[in-house]
């Protein structure tokens, strides 16, 4: 479910946005990050993690093993590895080396995960399709609650949880998305028709000056390169707006809490 649907399930009013209601929505957003967006999990008060692990087993046994010939232990190991590394850079050869499996096996097993929409890969943007396909990718799991239930240490990295959630929302909104990586990095760029329409960075907070510098320079590099006029930095709490003038380009950066962005 989207966050808006999640709030509907919980009978939480989204408007008017009083201070009391905003505090309630924020608390539910934290829960949404933790338990994810499967309806039966959202409605359940106890044993949520156990149900999510059961779902993962069903994906392996009912959706994949019933259709493809796989080594159950190896494909489960791969699934846990991918969940643990959601929102990280990923290559089939590197994954094969880490798990002691043949690269072709990794390619085949990943394709089965993509078929059932449990994981998806994101390409680096390049005007050359050949370069896009040849570059490292990023991997994302379809549900943050599922990642928290089956992975190692994923829940400790709030930034990657948030990035995974934003990725999944952009997919839900049927955006054509890539990541940017040159001298600096930008988490998401959105392509509309033949041009880049928007750039998005995701971070837990901008309070640390080093983090703020890193997020800004990646976003601005992407906006300069693709002549974008609007960029977003999505965080847990911060909100604001800034205009940066460079030569003939006015770049507007909007900072929004992710829960607000999810409801727009």
Give residue-wise pLDDT tens across range 218-241: 999 999 998 877 899 999 999 999
- 122-145 per-position pLDDT tens digit: 999 987 777 767 777 999 999 999
In degrees, rounded to 5, the angle at the alpha carbon of residue 83 between the alpha carbons of residues 81 and 87 is 110
Distances (CA, A) of 191 to 34, 70, 127, 249: 30, 36, 11, 19
Residue 97: which region, alpha, beta or left (left: phi > 0; alpha: psi -120 to 50)?
A: alpha
What was the pLDDT predicted at 179?
A: 96
What was the pLDDT predicted at 154?
A: 66
Extract the tokens encoding 172. 């839900």
Q: From the CB of residue 105, how many other CB atoms can be counted at a distance below 10 Å?
A: 18
What was the pLDDT predicted at 26?
A: 93
User: What is the rounded CA–CA span in Å between residue 260 and residue 15?
Assistant: 12
User: What is the rounded CA–CA span in Å between residue 201 and residue 255?
Assistant: 9
Report the chain's mean pLDDT, rounded to a whole number.
92
- Whole-model pTM: value is 0.92
CB-based contact 106:139 (threshold 8 Å) = no
Give the containing element (helix H, strand E) for 151: none
Q: Which of 208, 202, 185 has the alpha carbon at shortest distance from 255?
A: 202
Domain extent listing, the chain: 1-35, 47-118+132-156, 159-264
Extract the tokens encoding 198. 């928007």
Instruction: Assign a CATH topology to domain 159-264.
Output: Trna Endonuclease; Chain: A, domain 1 (3.40.1350)
What was the pLDDT predicted at 118?
A: 97
What was the pLDDT predicted at 85?
A: 94
> What one-character DSSP code corresponds to residue 254?
E
User: What is the rounded CA–CA span in Å between residue 149 and residue 53?
Assistant: 6
Assign 155 a pLDDT band (cuts: 50, 70, 90): low
């Amino acid at each position: 479910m989207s966050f808006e649907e999640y709030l509907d399930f919980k009978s939480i009013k989204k408007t008017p946005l009083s201070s009391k209601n905003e505090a309630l929505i924020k608390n539910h957003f934290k829960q949404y990050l933790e338990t994810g967006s499967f309806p039966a999990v959202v409605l359940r008060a106890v044993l949520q993690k156990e149900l999510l692990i059961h779902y993962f087993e069903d994906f392996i046994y009912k959706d994949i093993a019933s259709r493809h010939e796989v080594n159950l232990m190896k494909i489960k190991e791969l699934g846990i590895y991918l969940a643990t590394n959601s929102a990280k850079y990923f290559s089939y050869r590197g994954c094969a080396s880490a798990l002691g499996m043949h690269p072709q096996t990794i390619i085949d097993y990943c394709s089965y995960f993509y078929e059932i929409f449990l994981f998806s890969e994101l390409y680096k943007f390049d005007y050359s399709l050949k370069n896009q396909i040849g570059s490292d990718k990023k991997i994302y799991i379809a549900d943050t609650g599922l990642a928290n239930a089956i992975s190692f240490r994923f829940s400790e990295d709030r930034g990657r949880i948030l990035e995974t959630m934003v990725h999944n929302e952009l997919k839900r909104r049927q955006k054509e998305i890539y990541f940017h990586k040159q001298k600096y990095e930008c988490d998401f760029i959105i392509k509309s028709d033949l041009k880049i329409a928007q750039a998005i960075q995701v971070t837990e907070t901008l309070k640390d000056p080093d983090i703020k510098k890193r997020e800004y320079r990646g976003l601005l590099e992407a906006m300069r390169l693709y002549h974008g006029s609007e960029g977003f930095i999505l965080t847990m709490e911060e909100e604001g707006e800034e205009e940066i003038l460079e030569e003939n380009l006015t770049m507007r950066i909007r900072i929004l809490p992710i829960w607000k962005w999810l409801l727009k």
